A = this chain, B = another copy of it.
Amino acid sequence: MISHARKRPARERLLAAAEELMFVDGVVLTPVDVVLKRAGASAATLYSNFGNKDGLIAAALERRLTDWTQAWDAAIEAADSPTGRLFAIFPALRTYQRERLAERWCAFSGTAAAIYRPSEEIVEMLEAEDELLHARLRAFAGEVAGEDRAQDLADQVAVAYLGTITGMLRGDQETAIARGELVARTLVASLVGEGGADLLGSDE
């Protein structure tokens, strides 16, 4: 148990500042200096800990992926039906966004869009997020639809998710999430047949 830790280490403060600033203004547009100022740390500390700016971005993305995974987990556990778990990414996104109103959309797609040729360590994080998205949707789709339709359903819900985050970037965020969620529901209703609605459960 840590007693009276006056100050978190500079590494932690840098990561927090990077997340708060870079995922709002964009990883490219945010200068290292501004992150340093917010963190109350020096340039030398940043470069000794993370190597360069890309290293800081990758570390911030890694932390973000952990947080997002937990938020998604919580929404999944709150669901009480197969479709509820498949749709859980949308309530998770809604909750997550409300805690981060300054952020326009997704830290991962935002980074992918901002950097033409990302460094290896950043690519790893982007792939990890993509893998998480598709693996989970595939698993839940299997519970909702038959195994022969599961991959197709998961792929289509992934389109709905990506459309949602880009809709957040281009317009009103709550509206975008509501529309994306609606698309997911329409997809399930269509792909699992008329009876699909019966699977929806009470968590909606």
Interface size on A, residues (CB 8 A): 42
Q: Does A29 make an interface contact (CB < 8 A)? A: yes
Q: Does A91 make an interface contact (CB < 8 A)? A: no
> Chain A interface secondary structure, helix, strand, loop or mixed?
helix
Docked-complex contact B163 and A179, CB < 8 angstroms: no
Q: Does A112 make an interface contact (CB < 8 A)? A: yes
Most B CB contacts (10 A, CB to CB) among A28, A116, A162, A179 go to A162
Do A170 and B114 contact each other (CB < 8 Å), given the known contacts A183-B183, A190-B187?
no
Least distance between A22 CB and chain B CB atoms (Å): 11
Docked-complex contact A156 and B116, CB < 8 angstroms: no
Beyond contacts A112-B170, A159-B176, A162-B170: 16 other A-B pairs, Cβ-Cβ < 8 A, are A25-B116, A29-B114, A29-B115, A105-B113, A110-B113, A113-B169, A156-B182, A159-B179, A160-B163, A162-B162, A162-B163, A162-B166, A162-B167, A165-B166, A166-B166, A186-B186
What are 15 sample pairs from A and B whose C-beta atoms fall under 8 A apart?
Answer: A24-B116, A26-B28, A26-B113, A26-B114, A26-B116, A29-B114, A109-B170, A152-B182, A156-B182, A156-B186, A159-B160, A159-B179, A159-B183, A162-B163, A165-B166
